[in-house]
Structure formats: structure tokens, C-alpha cells
Structure 1
Amino acid sequence: MNVIIIDDESRARNVLGTLLREECTGITKILEASNLVDGVALIKNKQPKIVFLDVEMPQHSGLEILDFFKNEPIDFQIIFTTAYSQYAIEAFRLSAIDYLMKPIDIEDLKLALQKAKDAIKEENINHKLQNLEKAFQQLSLNKIALEIPKGIIFASHDEILFFEADGVYTKVHLNDGKSQLICKTLKHFSDQLKDKPLFYKPHRSYLINLKFMKEVVKKDGLHVVMQNKKTIPIARDRKDAFLQMINTSFN
């Protein structure tokens, strides 16, 4: 039986390949790809029975695999691998898609492999992947995906203090004191959160979570002091609208 490992980290591919060769039976060939595009081409060419697919990869997440098989049957079993986010794990559970947490445990690997073998004849992987998409849509009601160089962080809205423009990037400040530089513009997040009343754009360079405002200061203009003591200016042309929003929402 042929299997394919799709993972952008060569070490992760080597470790999983070694485990499969040394600990698992019935595998005749192990193929590898370092990104989803090359992996999909390999899948279509070699037609493996099982694909080990990393969730967090640059350019294309493993979760986007359905986009590459529009109107095409998916006749292979997918076992997702991930090192991140309880949020992602919950989505896998909701959709009945199998997954392995990194670092991969050999007993978990054997169990997942056996389940995949048992399910190969069911031919319901398309349905499972569609369920996975729905699960992520459901959970995204209070989560946001932050694409970092190593993959994706799924942050709760309640974990985000504010977004700060940094050229064509955005710095996301979290309530644990950490920040992440994301390869997306501030407009991307403004558009994504436009229906979330907790997030407000007081200035062209900032998008704040109103929940974490600590103080409004009237000195040299109008400013908001956030929970982490960061002072954020209120644009002059947004001052009246901001004060009206404060009076309406907090009185």
C-alpha cells in the first residue's frame, strides 16, 4: 500500500517515514511532498491509499485540500497531523476526520493507520471533509486564524487586545502579553471582523477590542489606554463617533 506524507518540515517527514517503515506493516512505498500543491500533484499521479497531511503549512494549509479536488472523487484516506491548537483538534473531533498530534506517538499512529485501512472501502472522505469545513465554520464564530511563518494560530476573540498596522503586515497584541506579526494587512482583519461589535477601528493604524479598554484620555487629542498600557490615538475625524459609541454602549 502506497502512502504520501505532505509536510513542509523535512524533519517531521523523516520521523513519520521512519515510524511507518519500522513499526507499521502493509506499507510498500512512502512518498513525500513539502507543500500542498506538490502533494496534490503526487496524489493524482500516484493514487495512494492514505495521505498524512500537515495542517499548518505556508501558502496552503492542509485543510484547503478540498479546493484542489473540485468535482473529483477523493478515494484516499486522510490522516491530519498537527502540533497546534486545541481549536483545530475540536474541529477534527466534530467532523470524524482522524488526526495525529505531533510529536507522533507510535501507538496512536498504528491505531490511525488501522482505522484508515478499515475505512478505505467506505468512500465517504468527501463527506467527512465537508463536515470538517462546517466544523471550522461553526468554531470560527469566536475564533480567528493568524497565519504565522510556522503555520496557523487560532486565537479566541477574547485573547486579542488590538491589531496594529505595520506596513503591509499586522501586529496582533494578545492578552497574555505576547504579540504576533502576521503577513496580512490591517484591512484584512477589519473586513473579517466588521460584523463583530467588540472590535472598533479608532484610527487607520489600529483595530481595538473594546473589552480591553482601560481608560479614555483627553490630552493632546483623544486616546484610549488599553489593558497592556498601550496608548492608542483616536483619529480626529472619528472622535465624535467614538464618544457617541462609548456613551451608547457603556452607559
Structure 2
Amino acid sequence: MKAVIIDDEQKARRLLRLLLEENCPQITAIETAEDLPKGVALINKFQPDIVFLDIEMPGYSGIQLLEFFTPEQINFEVIFTTAYAEYAIKAFELNAIDYLLKPLRHDQLETAVQKAIQQIGQSKVSERLEELRNTLKVSNIRKIGLPVSNGVLFVELDDVIMMEADRMYTKVFTTGDGELLVSKPMKFFTDILEDVREFYRPHRSFVINLKHIKQYVNQDGGYIIMDNQKLVGISKDKKDEFFQVMQG
């Protein structure tokens, strides 16, 4: 069987190829592409049985695969890869589309490949992808509502740098609106961000966006410098976990 991997991150492409080679002997040929247009050209040339497709890529989302093929041309199974569990998992499961959550695990991959092999030719992939696209239109909301003095400010999750507990309030530091004092305790945010993989709690007083880490300093017990130059401490019992998360 043949597979195509489409992912804008070179590290992710290499890791998935390695995991396939080590754990999925049914797949004997693998090609990779760094974006959706190149991936489409590769699919047309290579005629894969399975396509591993990152759902979040610059330029084109993976779900836009439907714009490049007619329903009859999609004669391969699709397995999406995603780091964004909070909206994607429910949408995938509702529409019988397989997915792999980053960081990838070999057991998860083996199960997904086995399932994809069993499904080949059994149902129209294009119909399942269309339903997935419709579901994501209503559930792909990447904003958070912050209660502020004159109402609720909606901020893109990617624009949230970090949060700092301030008794019954929380300081939210953003790229566009600076520092905001929000009338919610930290627990409110840890609960709603629990499944949002880019947010991490290195210390009981802080929640950080891993995308906005600038540096780790191995002094004074160890601390993190964020993109806004704020310093964030790491609890002793969180250090090993933090490095595992960052290396994942």
C-alpha cells in the first residue's frame, strides 16, 4: 500500500514517516508534501491508498482537499493529523473520519491505519469529508470570551500569550490588547482550556501559550521568558513534564 503525508512542519513529516516505517508494514511506499497544492499534485501522480493530512496549514486548511478533487477522484482514505483537540475530535468522530492527535503515538497510528485499510472502498470518502467540513464551519471557533469592565472581549486563542492569577481575578496578556484584568479566577480558564493543547500550566499561578515561549533560563530554579518578556516560574514537580511537552 502507498501513503502520502501532507504537513507544513518538516519535523512532523519526518516523525510520521518514521512511525509508519517502523509500525505499519502494510505501507510499503511513502511520499511527502509541505502544503496542500503540492500534496494534491503528489496524490494525482502517486495514487496513494491513504493520505495523512494536517488540518491546520498556512495557505490552505487540510479540509480544503475537497476543492481540488471531484467526489469520484477521492478513492483514497484520509487520516487527519491535528494538535487542536478541543474542536476537532468531536467533529471527526461525528463524521467517521479518522484522526491522529499530535504528538503522535505509534499505537494510535497503527489503529488508525488498520481502520483506514478496512474502510477502503466501503463508503464514499468525499461525503464524509463534506460532512466534516460542514461540522467544522460551526465548531471551529478559535476565540475565547474575556469578561472585561464594559462587556466581553473576544480574543483569538493564538493571541493569548499567558495568564497570571491575581486572587479572584486573572491577568490575561495578549498580543493585540496588552494586559487585561478579567473578573474570573484562574480555575475558570484552566477548566475551559484543559483540552486546548497549546496552553500549559507550569505553575499554579500561570497558564502559558506554548506558541509564545521565547526562552527557558536554567537559573534561580529555572524559569520561562515569554514573548512579552514576562517571567514565568516552573514548579519543581512540573519541570520534567514541561520539557516532555515542548519536545512532543
TM-score, structure 1 normalization: 0.59
2-structure distance, mates of 1:22, 1:172: 38
1-structure distance, mates of 2:85, 2:173: 16
2-structure distance, mates of 1:14, 1:175: 30
Question: Contact 2:40 / 2:68 at 8 angstroms: preserved in 1?
Answer: yes
- The one-character-per-residue Cα deviations of 1:107-137 (angstroms, maximum 9, x if unpaired) are 1100000000000021410111011012112
Q: Give the aligned partner of residue 134 of structure 2.
A: 134
2-structure distance, mates of 1:69, 1:60: 14
Instruction: After TM superposition, give the deviation of residue 79 of structure 1 in Å.
Output: 0.4
Q: Give the aligned partner of residue 249 of structure 1.
A: none
Letter in 1 for 2:88: A
Instruction: After TM superposition, give the deviation of residue 173 of structure 1 in Å.
Output: 6.2
2-structure distance, mates of 1:128, 1:100: 17
2-structure distance, mates of 1:95, 1:178: 36
Cα distance change on mapping 1:163 and 1:136 into 2, 3 Å = closer
Q: Secondary structure at the match of 1:122?
A: coil
Q: Give the aligned partner of residue 104 of structure 2.
A: 104
Cα distance change on mapping 1:157 and 1:128 into 2, 3 Å = farther
Instruction: After TM superposition, give the deviation of residue 55 of structure 1 in Å.
Output: 1.1
Question: Contact 1:53 / 1:62 at 8 angstroms: preserved in 2?
Answer: yes
- Confirm whether residue 33 of structure 1 aligns to residue 62 of structure 2: no
Highest CA radius of gyration, 1 or 2? 1
Q: Give the aligned partner of residue 76 of structure 1.
A: 76
1-structure distance, mates of 2:31, 2:68: 19
Question: Contact 1:162 / 1:174 at 8 angstroms: preserved in 2?
Answer: no
**What's the RMSD between the two structures over aligned residues?**
2.7
Q: Give the aligned partner of residue 143 of structure 2.
A: 155
Q: Secondary structure at the match of 2:31?
A: strand
Cα distance change on mapping 1:107 and 1:179 into 2, 3 Å = same
After TM superposition, the structure 1 = structure 2 runs for residues 1-251 of structure 1, keeping only pairs within 5 Å, are: 1-70=1-70, 72-140=72-140, 143=141, 154-157=142-145, 161-162=153-154, 176=163, 177-180=172-175
Question: Contact 1:79 / 1:98 at 8 angstroms: preserved in 2?
Answer: yes
Cα distance change on mapping 1:20 and 1:173 into 2, 3 Å = closer
Instruction: After TM superposition, give the deviation of residue 47 of structure 1 in Å.
Output: 0.8
TM-score, structure 2 normalization: 0.60
- The one-character-per-residue Cα deviations of 1:18-38 (angstroms, maximum 9, x if unpaired) are 111111111110000000000
Question: Contact 2:92 / 2:99 at 8 angstroms: preserved in 1?
Answer: yes
* Count of residue pairs brought into register by the alignment: 166
Structure 2: gaps of 5 or more residues: 164-171, 184-248
